[in-house]
Structure 1
Amino acid sequence: MAQELALRTPSQSFWAIRLGWLAVVLTALLYCGVRLHDGAALQTNLLSLLPATEADAIAEKAVDTLATSLGDRTVFLVSSRDAMHAKAAAMQLGAQLTRSAAFRNVIAELPPFDASQITRFYQPYRFSLLSAADRAALDNGSTALPALLAHRLYAPVETGLSAPLADDPFGWLSHWLADLPLATTRLELEDNFLIAHSSDASGDTTSVLVTTTLAASAYDAQIQADVRTAVAQAEQSLARTFPDVTLLRTGAVFYASAARSASEQELHRIGIVSTLGIALLMLWVFRSPRFLLLGFVSTGIGIVFALAATLLVFGKLHLLTLVFGASLIGEAVDYSIQYFVSHLGADAGQDARQSARVVRPALLVALTTSLLGYAILVGVPFPALRQIACFAIAGIGAAFLSVVSLLPALLVNAPRQPHRSYRRAARWLGGWQAALSRRGAWLCLALIAAAAVPGWLRLTSDDDIHLLIQRDPELARQEAIVRKAVGVENTTQFFVVKGDSAEQVLQRAEALQRKLEAPIAGAPLKGVQSVAQFVPSARQQSEDRARLARRVFADPQALRATLTDAGFRADVAAGYLNAFESAASDPLTVEAWLAKPWSQPYRHLWLGQVANGTAAPVFAAIVVPTGATAAQLPALAALADANAGIRFVDKPASVARLFATYRVDSGWWLAGALTLILVLFCVRYGLAAGVRVTLPVICAVGITFAVYGYAGIPLNLFHWLALMLVLGVGANYAVFLREGCARDHADIGGVWVGVLLSAATTLLSFGLLGTSAMPVLRSFGMTLALGIVIAVALAPLGMPLSRHRSS
């Protein structure tokens, strides 16, 4: 009975392991399926890749507010040589887009708008609203009221917003209204359409603006699909009806959709090509579909756990992480490859469990070095890189666990490969190790190191934000044309103004605006957008009212005489005087302005009360300088005063500075990681052997730097971080060889085949990243491919000189 129980125990144990893994994997698959079924967990927002570069949380909120206010808008430009065709096509486009569920509203033909409603809103506060020029004129004691009145009466007819003459005889409200930043584009209102006219050698072109607001976020997968469908159908319809019309578009939804499409294409290409390539290599080496299937079982488990862990930790999964994850297949399969070659090269009496125990120390050392490389990425404050690190750590860890526990349970009674299939590989390895062990080889390495020094000295750096974000070139071309036609610039620099109250924010914004209206770095800006232009501070309103009371209304009889002498009726003059006396004493407020529909395009300028992590309330607003050149940016930054609650935000420059900081720090991280690995290897193998095992990956890092220097390729943060992975992955090859030599009865030829196969699969996966359109992935792929080739070529340096078994 005891013997029967003993015979059944291994089988029962195997089935327990299989069923346990099956349950865990099904749970992870179910979780991933629930999270990914509607695409909501997939993130395509390129800005989400960027770290929080601003030390001030309110400045980061301002960045998000601007991005959100602009992200849900799309702009179409319908152009034709025939003005009537352009307008009719714009109407047709608007009607078609309106029928789509992707858009909350579509504006092609503007509804009738009574501009006088703006005047009527400000008219009760007209005695508290003075332009800078009118303040200067009133403060100038030599300027007489009759002269100011005559200038208003005999000036050319005013266009734009203006108050009735009876309510604004001196034109002060009209002057203030004229300074509002409402007409900041090249567009003209024509037949209720917003029109842009342009001319070239071939004639005149009329362009009609059509604007839309999305029904949901631009990064929602369903919205992107609906927008693509609606725009494609509209383009086909326009092509049939108006073949002379061209349609251009811009908006975050188009960039997000293009990024999603490009990422999915790369995901499929890298995943399919690497999977097929790895499958062919494994079939060629192991000559058995069973080993291929088991290898992909462990790899698939790693990918499933990586997806589940990333979704669990971050909530969302960026497509950049998915594309990188497709290349992780080549690294995750390494553990199963090493296990297979160990088992197939062992004596016939060694079962699958014994093979797992024999190879486990080598796999543990390799796992430690790989996890060390990825763990460093966790400390980098880039959301995308943290996701990649989490994905890789979870995936590699799960693949390792499945190899050492699940595969032995599935590898029962697997066919063995004859030892002679590894003998040729053993002879090649012996010859290559002998060549590397000669004095001439060490001299050659010394010469290579000497030749690398000039390459290191030629190294340069590039910390441009576009290394992380690559925009679709066709969409960028269309956006440039639309912006040129409309006359709107794409600015990423602005000021954040903070205060303890709304009043303090408005006062500080006014002070900043006065500075921005003066020449900056020797040249004026094109303009300024600030909420204080629409709503002056209560202090400024009070001062303007006091100025009028002192300068104009102090002598009512004289003012009445001035008005009647200029031709105003007595009742009009009396009404103007009574209006000043009965004018509301309460100042104009931001809340009253925000309540008006026509304030909507400018509401992003007011952040209002924001959370600051303290009990005291904090209010904030945005001031946008327009038309600033690169030469003016330092001067604009110098205007900011953190103590006075004004901060200059330049997101691209902030990211570039952070890139540079972490690029420099990554050099120290790399040196520290090398030191840790060297210590780890010295502890396990001894001092001399530890140095020899570490030397291949050190050479891989050094030679890669030299190649980049000679090739004139500037280094960025992602090259350095890729070298961390070279360190983690490349060190494994020397470890596998060293551990293989240390095992009794191990076939070193099989170990070498496993190392070459592991390197080939990793190169196949990560090397494909070098062809990616995403600069960050391309940097990763190029660096990893070059470093791994060098590391595997020099891996035999770590083998013991006195041990070499080829049979």
Structure 2
Amino acid sequence: MSAPAPRLPGRRVGVALTLWVIFLAACLLVVARTTFTTDLSAFLPRNPNAEQRVLVEQLKDGVLSRTLLAAVSGGTPQQRANASLALGTRLRTDAQFESVVNGALDPAQRDRDGALLFRYRYLLSPAVTPAHFTVDGLKASFADTLDLLASPAGLALKPLVNRDPTGEMLRLADVLDAGGHPPVAYGAWSSRDGQRAMMLLTTVASGSDTDAQEHAIQTLRTTFDALHSGLTLEITGAPTFAVDSRAMIKHEVARLSIVSAVLIVTILLFAYRSVTMLGLSLLPVLSGALAGVAAVSLGFGSVHGITLGFGTTLIGEAVDYSIYLFIQSGDATRRGEPHPAARRANRDARLRRWVARAWPTVRLGMLTSICGFSALTFSSFPGLAQLGVYSIAGLVVAAAVTRWVLPALMPLSLTMRDMSGIGDRLARIANAARRFRWIAIAALFAWVLAAVLFHPKPWLNDQLNALSPVTPEAQARDAALRAQINAPDARYMAVVSAPTLDAALEGAEAAAPMLDRLVASHAIGGYETPARYLPSEAAQRSRQDALPAAPDLRARVARAVQGTPFDPKSLEAFISDVDTARNEPLLDAGWLRGTSLGVGVNALVNCSPGRCDALLPLRLPNGPGAREIDAPAVRAALAGLNDTPARITFVDLKGASDSMYDSYMHEAVKLSLAGLVLILALLALMLRSVAGLLRVIGPLAAAVIAVIAGLALAGISLTLLHVIGLLLIVAVGSNYALFFNRNFDRDMPEAITFASLAVANLTTVAGFGVLALSSLPLLRAFGETVGPGAILALWMSALLAPRHTVEQPAAREAGTLPADDPPARSVPSARSDQPNAAREV
């Protein structure tokens, strides 16, 4: 007794359409409130280690992410300096910039800095010790001051001598300039080669606020252009990288989406020859895209531009479902029935056959794709997790719309191209090629052997910048300009972590003697520290305690000035200032606000609730025989300082980025293997046949191996996204292998199936393949992998598929079943078809 034929929803069609419309409305509501981002912080780890945390914070909100380096070139040195000075004067009044440094200070800034330094000189000067104010210490200081007065610089010092005979202001100038600065020409910073005037600008906005960074950069350019100097302005730095990357991502996503859409629409119009069918076939895609964006928005709070770019590939796979439905359920031999009821009955019968014969295979293919994408959702990198969630939600919704919505909207007659002739020719080619499948397998082995023998590069790319949208030219230009101002190497730094700012400053002071010894041994060329600009409370109190009371100091001064030109009475102002400093409130960050010292502290301190980091950037050794920093030696030296409350860590940002990328790669491999295991488990559960499982997996494995070898021969080392792309080949290609390993009948012969798979494959290649044209490594990797992989998966599935005999159900031949009803025994569930196919091999 035959099983009942599957039925269309019938009276439940209205319910399905209503639910679909409500679902789309809800998705649109979510999408309308979605925030779209383009900063690459989404591809940074959620739980970084200590070194990676510093890198992540610097990339997001640290001073490195807010610093612009500008260079004025062209003209004469004086013209460049004048342009730099004029530009700096204008930008210092702009609220977008926290600091503008070019070797000159405006008078108001100079006055603020001078007044602060002079008032707190005894709390800031590291020379203030008890010995410094003994009679011998005062004699030595007075003698140094007298020597300086006799020098060419003495004229500038003379007004301060009576109030600062110990030279604390000059000493502070040396301390604050210990980091060095570019040479000065005509009052402005000049590059070391003398060909540019240099500027450093720090924005108020955080590095993750790309809109604000873009506006600040535009303000810089506009202000420079308004000078009409005829010179050229170069700008580099992390903010420019972020702004340029966002513009590139937007451009690439728009460009690739348009190219992909045009190609897919062209393919579908060729197949359907019907605008109505084209519109219907895109409904699952649009529904899936909306669902994907909404799911990511709800799960992550924002949607990254890379996710949208990757979403264009969803078009290539999601549209496959409608292609299978329309081509496989179409019947070019039955058109023009005179009565609508007859046309409706014919359409419904064909749809029932497709639901019974093909939908289980389509559903299993969709589930294998979901297994592949689901591995990404467990990634510790939010960007990859977004890709997984987007794809899963999109594919599920696209498949559901194809199964329950499109049948309700399908016209009574499918007025589209008869694909059976094309499919028949393709089937004959494939059947002929199957006779030489061993030659194809041998060619695959030769291809792989050539890749092993002649691969010109390492198989794996272990550099994080392999994923960066910043061009090598832009990175080289940035490095060259930084070298021109002797900026600290952004790669190396010591990081002092403590619960409070003051504790972090104490830790920085504790590290200073060791760093000084490393400078003396030429292990490093120098370092920056926020403690230069803001000593810890303990250091300030120690210096206050070293200051003698006025009566004692007066007596010591009287003895120290004997035999010198100094008059003890003329130094009463000095004695009064020292006595005031003994009771002066300690200097804190609030006092530094609006001064150059405050800028220095802000640039080298990152504080959040419960933790403060003091950053001590290290300079490379300079001079003859200069070399790289001996990272192991510096790390070992600083490790011995961790017996203080503050924790001192040596950070190699490049090492941290390499470590992070290594984590990326290991995680990608693990997730890909997990996805593959899920796919194998699903297929094994559904097929219940080892032979059937091998016939499905074999072509996919061959396609993956061929793609890896092809990339190797092309000189492309695998990044982690190539690894994920290999998993997607399996996920996408499983649809083809499943269809080629099912039994065919006269209702859905191999030719029609081949035609539908060929069209579906073209749309998939159009969706994924265009990504290979992208200038973004993140997207290009998918195109280079999945594009050719999808083609190979199709043809390998065709070549390695068994030869089929068309089922001729006895009941149908005997006339016991209506022509429009499917035979019960031929329902192509994966569980029933694959063993039959295995017996026919």
TM-score normalised by L of structure 2:
0.80
Task: State the 1:690 CA deviation.
Answer: 0.8
1:751-790 alignment to 2 at 5 Å?
Answer: 751-790=753-792
Task: State the 1:94 CA deviation.
Answer: 7.4
Task: Tell me which of 130, 141, 162 is aligned to 1:166.
Answer: 162
Contact 2:145 2:166 in 1 (8 A): yes
**1:507 maps to which residue?**
506
Provide the rounded CA distance (Å) in 1 between the counterparts of 2:804 and 2:490: 67
TM-aligned CA distance change 1:797 to 1:522, over 3 Å: farther
Provide the rounded CA distance (Å) in 1 between the counterparts of 2:168 and 2:100: 37
Per-residue CA distance 1:560-591 (angstroms, 9 max, x = gap)? 22124323223244554555455434673433
Contact 2:69 2:236 in 1 (8 A): yes
Task: Tell me which of 561, 564, 567 is aligned to 1:566.
Answer: 564
Is the deviation greater in 645-654 or in 520-529?
520-529
Contact 2:530 2:614 in 1 (8 A): yes
TM-aligned CA distance change 1:225 to 1:435, over 3 Å: farther
Is the deviation greater in 597-606 or in 376-385?
597-606
**2:681 maps to which residue?**
679
TM-aligned CA distance change 1:158 to 1:315, over 3 Å: farther
Paired amino acid for 2:782: F
TM-aligned CA distance change 1:590 to 1:356, over 3 Å: farther
**1:295 maps to which residue?**
281
TM-score normalised by L of structure 1:
0.83
> Does residue 633 of the first structure (1) align with residue 625 of the second (2)?
no
**1:745 maps to which residue?**
747
> Does residue 339 of the first structure (1) align with residue 325 of the second (2)?
yes
Task: Tell me which of 711, 719, 739 is aligned to 1:736.
Answer: 739
Is the deviation greater in 284-293 or in 123-132?
123-132
Task: Tell me which of 218, 241, 262 is aligned to 1:276.
Answer: 262
Per-residue CA distance 1:537-575 (angstroms, 9 max, x = gap)? 34334444556659x997864542212432322324455
Paired amino acid for 1:721: I
> Does residue 698 of the first structure (1) align with residue 701 of the second (2)?
yes
Task: Tell me which of 207, 212, 216 is aligned to 2:197.
Answer: 207
Per-residue CA distance 1:227-283 (angstroms, 9 max, x = gap)? 55x677667766xx444x222223544333322332232223221222221222222
Is the deviation greater in 302-311 or in 634-643?
634-643
> Does residue 180 of the first structure (1) align with residue 176 of the second (2)?
yes
**Structure 2 runs not aligned, ≥5 long:** 1-7, 335-345, 622-626, 810-841
Per-residue CA distance 1:487-544 (angstroms, 9 max, x = gap)? 4356143332123454432221112122222236952534322121123334334444
Per-residue CA distance 1:344-377 (angstroms, 9 max, x = gap)? 2699642335423432211221112111221222
**Structure 1 runs not aligned, ≥5 long:** 1-8, 36-40, 613-617
Tell me how large the CA RMSD over aligned residues is: 4.2
Provide the rounded CA distance (Å) in 2 between the counterparts of 1:445 and 1:477: 40
Provide the rounded CA distance (Å) in 2 between the counterparts of 1:580 and 1:242: 49
Is the deviation greater in 393-402 or in 641-650?
641-650
Task: State the 1:446 CA deviation.
Answer: 6.2
Question: What's the secondary structure of 2:522's corresponding residue?
Answer: coil
**2:722 maps to which residue?**
719
Task: State the 1:687 CA deviation.
Answer: 0.9
1:442-521 alignment to 2 at 5 Å?
Answer: 459-472=458-471, 476=475, 479-480=478-479, 482-489=481-488, 491-519=490-518
Question: What's the secondary structure of 1:565's corresponding residue?
Answer: coil
Is the deviation greater in 271-280 or in 77-86?
77-86
Contact 2:52 2:657 in 1 (8 A): no
Paired amino acid for 1:256: A
Provide the rounded CA distance (Å) in 1 between the counterparts of 2:749 and 2:130: 94
1:326-725 alignment to 2 at 5 Å?
Answer: 326-344=312-330, 349=346, 350-415=349-414, 420-421=420-421, 422-436=423-437, 459-472=458-471, 476=475, 479-480=478-479, 482-489=481-488, 491-519=490-518, 523-544=522-543, 557-573=555-571, 576-577=574-575, 579-581=577-579, 583-585=581-583, 588-605=586-603, 607=605, 610-612=608-610, 618-627=611-620, 630-641=628-639, 644=644, 645-685=647-687, 686-725=689-728
Task: State the 1:463 CA deviation.
Answer: 1.9
Provide the rounded CA distance (Å) in 1 between the counterparts of 2:381 and 2:68: 28
Paired amino acid for 1:367: M
Provide the rounded CA distance (Å) in 2 between the counterparts of 1:538 and 1:104: 26
Question: What's the secondary structure of 2:236's corresponding residue?
Answer: strand
Is the deviation greater in 143-152 or in 311-320?
143-152
Paired amino acid for 2:283: V
Is the deviation greater in 712-721 or in 673-682?
673-682
Paired amino acid for 1:224: E
Provide the rounded CA distance (Å) in 2 between the counterparts of 1:580 and 1:212: 36
Count, aligned residues? 773
Provide the rounded CA distance (Å) in 2 between the counterparts of 1:23 and 1:44: 30
Per-residue CA distance 1:38-75 (angstroms, 9 max, x = gap)? xxx23232344322463249945982488454545545
Task: State the 1:682 CA deviation.
Answer: 3.0
Is the deviation greater in 777-786 or in 495-504?
495-504
Provide the rounded CA distance (Å) in 2 between the counterparts of 1:214 and 1:573: 44
Identity fraction in percent: 24
TM-aligned CA distance change 1:414 to 1:604, over 3 Å: farther
Is the deviation greater in 797-806 or in 96-105?
96-105
TM-aligned CA distance change 1:531 to 1:89, over 3 Å: closer
Is the deviation greater in 345-354 or in 523-532?
345-354
TM-aligned CA distance change 1:659 to 1:733, over 3 Å: same
**1:246 maps to which residue?**
232
Contact 1:772 1:778 in 2 (8 A): yes
TM-aligned CA distance change 1:163 to 1:338, over 3 Å: farther
Paired amino acid for 2:126: S
Provide the rounded CA distance (Å) in 1 between the counterparts of 2:390 and 2:761: 21
**2:823 maps to which residue?**
none
**1:3 maps to which residue?**
none
Question: What's the secondary structure of 1:509's corresponding residue?
Answer: helix
Provide the rounded CA distance (Å) in 1 between the counterparts of 2:606 and 2:90: 37
Paired amino acid for 1:344: G
Provide the rounded CA distance (Å) in 2 between the counterparts of 1:594 and 1:47: 31
Paired amino acid for 1:259: S
Paired amino acid for 1:315: G
Per-residue CA distance 1:644-678 (angstroms, 9 max, x = gap)? 51123334322321322342454444444334333
TM-aligned CA distance change 1:566 to 1:589, over 3 Å: same
Question: What's the secondary structure of 1:131's corresponding residue?
Answer: coil
**1:6 maps to which residue?**
none
Question: What's the secondary structure of 2:285's corresponding residue?
Answer: helix
Provide the rounded CA distance (Å) in 2 between the counterparts of 1:723 and 1:604: 46
Per-residue CA distance 1:74-112 (angstroms, 9 max, x = gap)? 454433424565466568867998999988998998531
Question: What's the secondary structure of 1:179's corresponding residue?
Answer: helix
Is the deviation greater in 322-331 or in 473-482?
473-482
Paired amino acid for 2:259: V
Task: State the 1:179 CA deviation.
Answer: 0.4
**1:4 maps to which residue?**
none
Is the deviation greater in 686-695 or in 367-376?
367-376
TM-aligned CA distance change 1:220 to 1:543, over 3 Å: closer
Question: What's the secondary structure of 2:561's corresponding residue?
Answer: helix
Contact 2:523 2:629 in 1 (8 A): no
TM-aligned CA distance change 1:302 to 1:467, over 3 Å: same
> Does residue 131 of the first structure (1) align with residue 126 of the second (2)?
yes
Provide the rounded CA distance (Å) in 1 between the counterparts of 2:90 and 2:590: 36
**2:5 maps to which residue?**
none
